[in-house]
């Protein structure tokens, strides 16, 4: 019984590491470079705060529904993207490094999102 409790506790402690998005190996360098320099849109003002890291930024499915964009979180939940966080609506937009959509999501908040070629 103790062994089972220990296993369950270990799984719960390690779950965030397993839940982390896995970047395709061939794209890791591109993603690391893009995410390291991606700053939160600031309404046309100078960007100063980082969007992300490799845990909360990832290639994401993004959809347009009833005039609003939504990003699929790592848990599979669709989260509304505020227009102020969409790169294509910025005066200084960033482009996707690999043609795919990307999002940085912390909790239930989208910090940054860039649309890919197919979105």
Tens of pLDDT, residue by residue over 15-38, are 343 344 455 566 678 888 899 999
**Segments making up each domain of the chain, as ranges:** 2-114
Has this prediction a pTM greater than 0.85? Answer: no
Six token digits for residue 110: 């989208």
Q: Which tops the pLDDT comparison, 12 or 33?
A: 33
Residues with Cβ within 8 Å of residue 100, at least 6 apart in sequence: 59, 116, 117, 118
- Specify burial of residue 116 (Cβ count, 10 A radius: 0-12, 13-18, 19+): middle
């Amino acid at each position: 019984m103790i062994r089972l409790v220990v296993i369950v506790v270990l799984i719960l402690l390690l779950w965030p590491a397993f839940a982390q998005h896995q970047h395709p190996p061939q794209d890791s360098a591109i993603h690391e470079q893009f995410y390291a320099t991606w700053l939160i849109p600031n309404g046309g003002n100078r960007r100063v705060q980082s969007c992300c890291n490799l845990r909360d930024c990832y290639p994401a499915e993004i959809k347009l529904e009833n005039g609003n964009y939504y990003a699929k979180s790592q848990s599979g939940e669709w989260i509304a993207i505020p227009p102020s966080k969409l790169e294509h609506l910025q005066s200084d937009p960033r482009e996707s490094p690999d043609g795919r959509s990307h999002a940085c999501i912390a909790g239930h908040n989208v910090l940054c999102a860039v649309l890919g070629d197919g979105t």
